Amino acid sequence: MKQIKILKMAAIFLLLLACVFVFIIVRMIDDDSWQIEQEGAEFKGSIFHKYKGKIYAEVAGAGDREIKGADADSFHEFKDDQYKSHVGLDKNAVYCANERTTLDPKALYYVGNNYYGDGKKSVFCSMFARRDDKLSSFNLVLGYILYSFGIGDEPILYKNIVREISDTSIKPLLDLNLATNGKNVYYEGEILKDADPSKFRRIKDESGWRNSAFYMADGEHVYFKDKLLAIKDDYSLYQIADFNDVYYLFDPKSGSVYANDFEFDPKFRPFSLINQGREHTYHSLFRGKGGIYYYDDQSGQLYRAGDDPFSGSQKQITKNVFIDGKNLFYLESSEIRANSRSGGLTLKKRLTFIKRLPIDDGITKLGDADLEGSVWKSGDKIYYFDDLGTGQLVKNTIYEVTSPPDVQILLHQTNIQTLRDLIGQGRLVPVNGEQILQAQSVYDVGEIPIYVIFFAAFFIIMIGTMRKEPFGFARFKKYEK
């Protein structure tokens, strides 16, 4: 009986996998993007194509989307003294990518910084599409099912931002996405509360010459995008890091830190950033009162990773390695992935560690590596300290060099493949230091329940059997000849 039950479960599982496979194939085959790109007439310098009497906009993350109601005969891309590749118009309307605006095409003009006007109103039209965070996985699948039955529009996960402004007197302010009417400051079409346009500026990053993309101030107030922060402006403020779409603002006078618009708990001030680089980390780590802290971008909260291991006299000797007395402290990271219900591997966790390696005999630098990294000696051991990182498939921060002749290869003859070969051949051996603390982010992948996938696939298969050209296979007949 037990074997029969197992066989039944296996059969159901295989059936579900088959349905999922068909579902994916249907979605791929029914996607016209390839034909639109290859066979459609392109409006030069823009994201628009004309295909079979319809106009499509290539939306980043969403493919080619039909512009509903656009007049194909009169449609053209918008031009002024510079191309605006994401704005088009016909005799009836103006379009921001595939979104219709209320602007009059006969009076359209470009204000600047992604703002447009027609003499009666102004509109902000973002240059790039943004993910619609309000659209859940469940609603996305449900939307596709309804759309397959001809109910509603096809759900779109990425859209350009379109915001209408009744004011026609706005002018560009500074640069991208900013405008003013002399009284108010607009960011992406929304008024920044209490902002003074006459003193408005972008906050600098730690270099002192690059502007922050999202932190702004006016001498009194500080903003992250359109959010007013609870901190007074000071010219000493600067952005210290940007990490996994999280941007950090630092006040050196008070030691306060913001992660985007989230303020670190003041009771742990003053904070100081430990890691500027991101080569071997998934989190920005901060020393604070009572320990080491990090911001989790998944929960949007500040967490304590553990006790502060540093004595206060530590010295940073590479991007990811510190020396403190007779110890090396170094940063390292890992990812945990697992099989998902819908197939493939899904990210579950990202971890960042501080590890310790005793060096009783001290340590001496032998030289910088031919690539990003350096070679060091402690007693009779030689180490390679990596600065390339996991993005270059170099998983660990510190490797022991097991063959002394390889030192010269590292210093003078290394390319990325040579380095990977040295690791793969065991000539560079990862050092297994003592883990002192860890920061972690747990990812809620929002997997679609298997029964939802099953019914979605079932409905689409049903629809395909009722169509004259099931699953769009007839489209490929001309390519078979």
**Whole-angstrom distance, CA of residue 87 vs CA of residue 124:** 11
Check if the beta carbon of residue 412 is closer than 8 Å to that of residue 344. Answer: no
Check if the beta carbon of residue 348 is closer than 8 Å to that of residue 356. Answer: no
Q: Which two tokens stand for residue 438?
A: 């860890």
**Whole-angstrom distance, CA of residue 156 vs CA of residue 56:** 14
Residue 458's pLDDT is what? 55
Q: Which stretches of the chain score pLDDT less than 70?
A: 1-34, 37-40, 81-83, 137, 141, 144, 148-149, 340-344, 445-481
At 15 the three-state DSSP class reads helix
**Whole-angstrom distance, CA of residue 105 vs CA of residue 395:** 54
Which residues in 232-263 are b (16+ Cβ under 10 Å) and which e? ebeeebbbbbbbeebbbbbbeeebbbbbbbbe
Which residues in 348-374 are b (16+ Cβ under 10 Å) and which e? eebbbbbbbbebeeebeebeebbbbbb
**Whole-angstrom distance, CA of residue 29 vs CA of residue 61:** 18
**Whole-angstrom distance, CA of residue 220 vs CA of residue 135:** 37
Cα separation of the two ends of the chain: 53
Residue 342's pLDDT is what? 55
Check if the beta carbon of residue 377 is closer than 8 Å to that of residue 363. Answer: yes
Q: Specify whether the backbone of 470 is left (phi greater than 0), alpha (psi in -120 to 50) or beta.
A: beta
Q: Which whole-number Å values give the CA distances from 192 to 221, 227, 326, in the listed order?
A: 10, 7, 52
Nearest CA among 244, 245, 123, 96 for reference residue 189: 123
Element (DSSP H or E) covering residue 464: helix 450-466
Residue 12's pLDDT is what? 60
Residue 341's pLDDT is what? 60
Q: Which two tokens stand for residue 207?
A: 């270099």
DSSP state of 205: B
Q: Which amino acid is at 254?
A: S
Residue 60's pLDDT is what? 82
Alpha helices in 107-191 (DSSP H): 137-148
Question: Strands, E, within 274-372: which ranges?
Answer: 285-288, 291-296, 301-306, 315-316, 321-324, 327-339, 345-358, 364-368
pTM of the predicted structure, to 2 decimals: 0.80
Q: How many CB atoms lie within 10 A of CB 188?
A: 20
Residue 15's pLDDT is what? 60
Residue 477's pLDDT is what? 38
Q: How many CB atoms lie within 10 A of CB 121?
A: 16
Which residues in 298-317 are b (16+ Cβ under 10 Å) and which e? eeeebeebeebbbeeebeeb
Residue 414's pLDDT is what? 74
| Phi and psi torsions of 225, nearest 5° | 55, -120
Residues 6+ apart with CB under 8 A from 317: 323, 365, 385
Check if the beta carbon of residue 62 is closer than 8 Å to that of residue 33. Answer: no
Sign of the CA dihedral with 393 first, then 398, 399, and 404 last: positive
- What pLDDT, in 10s, does the model give residues 209-267? 999 999 999 999 999 999 999 999 999 999 998 887 899 999 999 999 999 999 999 99
